[in-house]
Amino acid sequence: MSDRHYMRVRADMPPGHVRTPAYLRGKTGWVERTLGPFPNPEQLAYGHKGQPLPLLRVRFSMEEVWGPDVDRPHDTIDAEIYSHWLEPSEAPHAP
């Protein structure tokens, strides 16, 4: 697990068009692959040019997202998150 790059999704809750799902905010996952650059949809949505941003596929465990009581804690969710929503982090603590 030491070669994983853990990232925490910022827990911000802004209004408007954002593509970081609320259920992942404040959660920590690891980088599955790096994509991008892709233009920022938060700007494109309002008719502005989108600043190119790195896009990352981040993988989260079900137990990290929904808590330790889930039926299948080791299933995973992969989501594409723009880099300005991510902060380098440590592995989530084991419960």
Binding region for another protein (CB under 8 A): 13-17, 19-24, 35, 38, 41, 44-47, 50, 55, 57, 65-66, 71-72, 74-82
Nearer to another protein, 69 or 90 (CB): 69
Report the SS3 class of residue 91: coil
Please report which residue ranges of the chain form alpha helices under DSSP H: 41-44, 62-66
CB of 4 to another protein, least distance (A): 16
78 or 87: whose CB is closer to another protein? 78
Place of tokens 């929503």: 85
Residue 84 Cβ, how far from another protein at the closest point, in Å? 13
Min dist CB 89 to another protein, Å, is 19
Say whether 32 sits in a helix, a strand or coil: strand
- Please choose, from the candidates 43, 42, 38, 74, the residue with its C-alpha nearest in 3D space to the C-alpha of residue 56: 38
